[in-house]
Amino acid sequence: MTRPSELAVTIVDGYVDEPAHFGVPPYISTYPRFTAGALVDAGVPQSQITYHTIDELRDNKQKWNAVADADLMIYVGGMTVPGSYVGGTPAEPEEVKELAWVAEGTSLMGGPVKFGVGDENAGATETERKDLDFDFVAKGDVEAAAYDLVDSGLEGFNNRMRDNDELSRWAPDGAFIVEQHPNHPDHLICEMETSRGCAYRCSFCTEPLYGNPAFRTADAVVDEVDTLSDYGVKHFRLGRQADILAFGGDGEAPNPDALRRLYSGIREVAPDLETLHLDNMNPITIVEWPEKSREGIRIIAEHNTPGDTAAFGLESADPVVQEANNLNVTAEECFQAVKIVNEEAGWRPGEDASDAPTHGDDAGNRLPKLLPGINLLHGLQEERRATYDHNRAFLQRVYDEGLMLRRINIRQVMAFEGTDMSDTGAAIAEEHKELFKSYKQEVRETIDQPMLERVAPAGTVLPDVHLEYHEDGRTFGRQLGTYPLLVGFPEERPLGQTVDAVIVDHGYRSVTAVPYPLDINSASMTELEALPGIGKQRAGDLVVNRPYETPEAVGGEIDLSAFVTTGSGASQPSD
């Protein structure tokens, strides 16, 4: 029997994306952290646990030695929703197979990959379970499988789910793994689990396959944040749950007291945190328990950091599709939920919360504290051409009523075994693919861009934008957080840096910005041209007439005070 204290273990992170869980860099999911903690609890020393991302293995072939030489190699990954990513590229099936071939010791695969593997991470696809040549596949929880496998001397395990008592040990015990992530410490955000499972049974979703909601305690989550903070983490997202408002309750009704213990506890143990965001919030909860929901939303907005997004799973505004797919919220109910979140959390730092939602000339120069996002899913059972009209009408109503959405996510269904969509598969999505493309483009042009201008008008300050890549002579970056804006700068700047930015223009789902505050006495022509109302000729005049003593000294009819300084220093943005 192999003793746990003698094992060398390598964890390979192929990244995950689930309806209630995100793990593509700059995120790190719970899976590798919990698995590392389970290994430690089983007796494997921290010093003998190695963690690599799939991108590290692509970039440095020497790191494959850790895969080959490990007594136990554990792969975690799996994408159950379609997406496109900037910070990392999820593992392809052939790469996962190669991991199993290279591993000379025992190999274990787990995570949402257990629900199925597709040829690509895209909508309108069907998936099937594949073992990809691994010795073991965890059809329960990979962290429980890792614990039991080590405990058995690498002989085997029962496919089981871990419980919250185990997780209370494993979550903090595995926090050390973040130090081995290539993004650590400055550009890494930890996905935090508050619960998993769902009380509802939408036709397409894999989250109900985890069972009914199982909530961690506020103390358990706070303890994990405390330990991660000790390892240098400053960015957190409460994204691993179907409904943040239901935290600490019966699975459906809100529990504001539990939310207060959770959020205030996190702020107490990590007072220097830089990001505290969330993901999923169920609109039906808000509609059925409006006063408790309002209180919970106020608590979140009091403690979070700006730019937070509560994803709403409307999925379809078509009543026919709603009934056929067991969707739990109507378009009217979702609209009321959007309105409530706007009223309770659509204010900006420095403003009076009672003024929410705020936008227009008098609004503050930061992103709102918390806004809803809308998820729309196409290819569901009984979808028809009228479905697209219902969805467009819903989004137009939200805009026309003066409300704000931080994000509109439009995608096509992925069909997984075990969900009701497995019988329908991708047939409807394939049939409507051309209609879907034209509709998506129309929404981007008629709703997304004007909505973005409302949420983040020119002059909005975005602190700590991390510069990620160059394209066509421009530099693109994002803040850390939930669904951050893609920010384009008009010149190539050194990558890997973090800069404060101020928005000067808008695309459909991205913004153009310049560094904030921009020193008008040293700014380039390209940066000056990007300022609102400043073209090439005016930018040339500004350069010729430098230096300026104050922004007001620039003169003319265009007020640049929201964008520029004259090198004498300016106050930096704060929460």
Instruction: Give the DSSP letter string of 94-163.
Output: HHHHHHHHH--SEEEEESGGGG-B-SSS-SSEE-B---TT-SEE-SS-HHHHHHHHHHTTSS--------
Residue with the two structure tokens 């006495």: 521
Burial class (CB in 10 A: 0-12, 13-18, 19+), 306: buried
For residues 511 and 506, what is the distance between their CA atoms, to the nearest angstrom? 4
Residue with the two structure tokens 């805009």: 399
Inter-axis angle of helices 164-173 and 30-41, to 10 degrees?
A: 100
DSSP code for 379: S
Residue 216 pLDDT exceeds 90: yes
| Residue 125: per-residue pLDDT | 44
pLDDT band at 81 (very low <50, low <70, confident <90, very high): low
Residue spans of alpha helices (H) in 238-306:
256-269, 283-288, 290-303
Radius of gyration of the CA atoms of the chain, in A: 24
| Residue 128: per-residue pLDDT | 56
Average pLDDT over residues 265-288: 95
Residue 19 pLDDT exceeds 80: no
The answer to whether residues 401 and 333 touch, using CB atoms and an 8 Å cutoff, is no
**Is 502 or 121 the better-scoring residue by pLDDT?**
502
| Residue 122: per-residue pLDDT | 43
| Length of the chain in terms of residues written | 575
pLDDT tens sequence across 504-546: 999 888 999 999 999 999 999 999 999 998 888 888 988 998 8
For residues 43 and 1, what is the distance between their CA atoms, to the nearest angstrom? 14
| Residue 570: per-residue pLDDT | 42
Here the tokens at position 47 are 């010093």
Q: Closest by alpha carbon to 398, among 342, 445, 471?
A: 342
Residue 72's φ and ψ, nearest 5 degrees, are -140, 120
For residues 462 and 62, what is the distance between their CA atoms, to the nearest angstrom? 38
CATH number listed for the domain at residues 190-276: 3.30.750.210
Grouping H, G, I as helix, E, B as strand and the rest as coil, residue 393 is helix
Q: Where in the chain is the domain with CATH 3.40.50?
A: 1-187
Give the HSE-up count for residue 207: Cα atoms under 13 Å, Cβ half-sphere: 26
Grouping H, G, I as helix, E, B as strand and the rest as coil, residue 192 is strand
Q: Where in the chain is the domain with CATH 3.30.750.210?
A: 190-276
| Omega cis (within 30) before 254 | no
Residue 240's φ and ψ, nearest 5 degrees, are -90, 75
Q: Closest by alpha carbon to 188, among 229, 220, 240, 244?
A: 229
For residues 114 and 107, what is the distance between their CA atoms, to the nearest angstrom? 15
Here the tokens at position 326 are 């067991």
Average pLDDT, the chain: 89
Q: What is the 3-state secondary structure (H, E, C) of 95-112?
A: HHHHHHHHCCCEEEEECH
Residue 73 pLDDT exceeds 60: yes
Give the HSE-up count for residue 85: Cα atoms under 13 Å, Cβ half-sphere: 21
CATH number listed for the domain at residues 1-187: 3.40.50
Here the tokens at position 77 are 């990954």
The answer to whether residues 247 and 217 touch, using CB atoms and an 8 Å cutoff, is no
For residues 325 and 431, what is the distance between their CA atoms, to the nearest angstrom? 18
pLDDT band at 561 (very low <50, low <70, confident <90, very high): confident
Most confident of 38-52, 367-381, 433-447: 38-52
pLDDT tens sequence across 285-334: 999 999 999 999 999 999 999 999 999 989 899 999 888 888 889 999 99
CA distances from 459 to 353, 379, 456, 473, 500 (A): 21, 39, 8, 23, 12
Average pLDDT over residues 489-498: 94
| Least confident residue range of 3-7, 380-384, 459-463, 470-474 | 380-384
CATH topology of domain 306-456: Transcription Regulator spoIIAA (3.30.750)
